[in-house]
Amino acid sequence: MKSQKMLIRCSINGPYIDPYLLGLIMSIAEFIIATAREKNKKITIKKGMRALGIAESFNRDIHKSKSIIAGVIMRGDLQIDGIAFETVSIGGLDATDSIIKMYQKLNREDIRIILLSGTVIAYYNIVDLQKLFQTLKRPIIAVTYEESPGIDNFLLEMPNGELRLQIHRRNGKRIPIHLRNSFTVYIRNIGISVEDAETVLNLFTIHGRFPEPIRVAKLLSHELLKFLWGRGNLINNFSTPTS
């Protein structure tokens, strides 16, 4: 229609863009840039900063349906400042919700970053890093310790295999990080740049590949699993207090 205003038209001097359309384009561009900055924003790394290290332990010979996850709050000077536990279903899809539940029980606003020992725990129970980040509003470094040819085929053989694979792929590819102690780890980072993630890992990793909050959490989850089983399979009724 003649009365309809064209948003884009050509002129002798080149294309003309309607101010409304130009403003819309600029708004979209600013949103994309702001999102990228939020995803990889810089954090202040000090020796007093607190990280929550999370690791799990499961043994199907001990218990066929549940594993234990432990969370350890540790300061940059390696002082332990809090501990929590939760259970995860072996072969289930509740790993993300269990981690969120454990974090919320801790009720600690001073946790600056989350260090997670892998994203595939308790027999292909996939941690959804995007959901974890959006819920907890804390940067996350998921750490693994060896190269892998991939697990896509194994995920597809599980119940809800397509969903597991979708979450796994959404978590992104791993990035190798060469620590200053000469070991190499592989990370997925969200809410923190690769450079800052490397700094955090060097701060908390003393020996070998395991950052101390993760190493201690792994030890605690393993020992608690054995303890509960040795006390008459108490893991079935295990629950951490809400406060």
Q: What is the structure's pLDDT at 237?
A: 58
Q: What is the structure's pLDDT at 5?
A: 42
3-state helix, strand, coil in the chain (%, to 5): 35, 25, 35
Q: How far apart are CA 71 and CA 241, in angstroms?
A: 14
In this structure, what token pair is assigned to residue 25? Answer: 């384009």
Domain boundaries, the chain: 8-39, 50-237
Q: What is the structure's pLDDT at 202?
A: 96
C-beta of residue 99 within 8 angstroms of C-beta of residue 52: no
pLDDT means per 10 residues, the chain with 243 residues, are: 42 52 61 53 74 90 83 95 95 97 96 97 96 98 94 96 97 96 97 96 95 97 85 57 44
In this structure, what token pair is assigned to residue 204? Answer: 């908390």
In this structure, what token pair is assigned to residue 141? Answer: 């470094």
What is the pairing mode between strands 111-117 and 50-57?
A: parallel
> Can you name the residues that pair with 125 across neighbouring β-strands?
121
Q: What pTM was computed for the model?
A: 0.78
Question: 55-96 pLDDT, tens per residue?
Answer: 999 876 666 788 999 999 999 999 999 999 999 999 999 999
What fold, for 50-237? archaeoglobus fulgidus dsm 4304 fold (3.30.2170)
**Nearest in space to 87 (alpha carbons), one of 213, 234, 211:** 234
Question: 207-234 pLDDT, tens per residue?
Answer: 899 999 999 999 999 999 888 877 655 5
Q: What is the structure's pLDDT at 64?
A: 73
